[in-house]
Amino acid sequence: MTQQGVWGAGRAQGGPAEAADAVGRRLGTLEPRVAIVLGSGLGGLADTVRDAIRLPYAEIPGFPAPGAPGHKGELVAGMLEGVPVLVQSGRFHLYEGHAPSVAGLPVRVFARLGVPTLIVTNAAGGIRHTFRPPTLMLIADHINLMWRNPLVGPVEEGEERFPDMSDPYDPELRALAREVARQERVSLEEGVYAALLGPSFETPAEIRMLQRLGADAVGMSTVPEVVVARARGIRCLGVSAITNVAAGLSARTLSHEEVLDAGRQVAGALEGLIKGVLRKLGTQRPPSRPQR
């Protein structure tokens, strides 16, 4: 096997420009202000988009079919709470064998379409002892333990070579989410998300290591999208659905079915939180759009 096959370092087949052109043609005059990436078991939000334009991944150059259960495989564009949005229902995980550039491809498409704000969601295991799954955690920061970075290689057009990651998750958007949670009485924790490659769940020893590193939750996604977004100047808001207690912190064994079931239980609260944030964004002056 080549080094590219081992490390997933190759670039996506069908680049951001071709994919953005294909999506842009379907969007017509719609100019999304917010892109939303939906995690495992959290795809119901896409069904609430009004005047929906559905783009199956098979129609978008470079977009593979998602291989993880609970991920549909389509972009859904339209209006949500009065805000034009582009919803990604089905993400590309590195554990499926995808190159980091493939995991980051949808965000590069969002950037070329001029989307200034990205909301990322995921299902995660709870490390902090006070978590009582299922619950929601606002992502304040992350730890990249995937040992992959979608910015490796030639610099993509419009991206910074060395993006600042001091505030990967926008402080103003996080404050907005906390305000919505208080108003809507949504239980919302806040903490640090650790991203591991997967697909195996973590061992109890690995969870103890993550505790010492300062992680509050652990999952297998999100970081590649956020890294690309920050390289393009897109501001990010991240929310984890804490679907289970991490390995070694309870007597229960872990399964993806449990993750999906718990995700469905907390999906209503997450949907309400995102819609509340969108309503507040709809009353604000849009931020500057990234360079296309």
Terminal Cα-to-Cα distance of the chain (whole angstroms): 36
241 has catalytic annotation: no
122 has catalytic annotation: no
95 has catalytic annotation: yes
- Point out the catalytic residue in the list 22, 209, 256, 258: 256
221 has catalytic annotation: yes
Place of tokens 């969870």: 207
Q: Are 147 and 7 in contact (CB under 8 A)?
A: no
Per DSSP, the residues of 265-289 read HHHHHHHHHHHHHHHHHHTSPPPPP
CA-CA-CA-CA dihedral for 43, 88, 36, 234, to nearest 10? 160
Q: How far apart are CA 33 and CA 278, in angstroms?
A: 10
- Point out the catalytic residue in the list 123, 195, 215, 229: 123
123 has catalytic annotation: yes
Helix-then-strand count for the chain, H and E: 7, 9
144 has catalytic annotation: no
- DSSP-based helix, strand, coil % in the chain, nearest 5: 35, 25, 40
Amino acid making up residue 195? A
Q: How far apart are CA 232 and CA 229, in angstroms?
A: 5
250 has catalytic annotation: no
22 has catalytic annotation: no
Q: How far apart are CA 151 and CA 223, in angstroms?
A: 12
98 has catalytic annotation: no
- Point out the catalytic residue in the list 74, 93, 181, 193: 93
Q: How far apart are CA 86 and CA 70, in angstroms?
A: 19
59 has catalytic annotation: no
Q: How far apart are CA 177 and CA 96, in angstroms?
A: 31
Q: Decide: helix, strand or coil at residue 165.
A: coil
- Point out the catalytic residue in the list 12, 35, 46, 71: 71
- Point out the catalytic residue in the list 68, 220, 229, 262: 220
For the annotated catalytic residues, the residue numbers are 40, 71, 93, 95-96, 123, 220-221, 244, 256
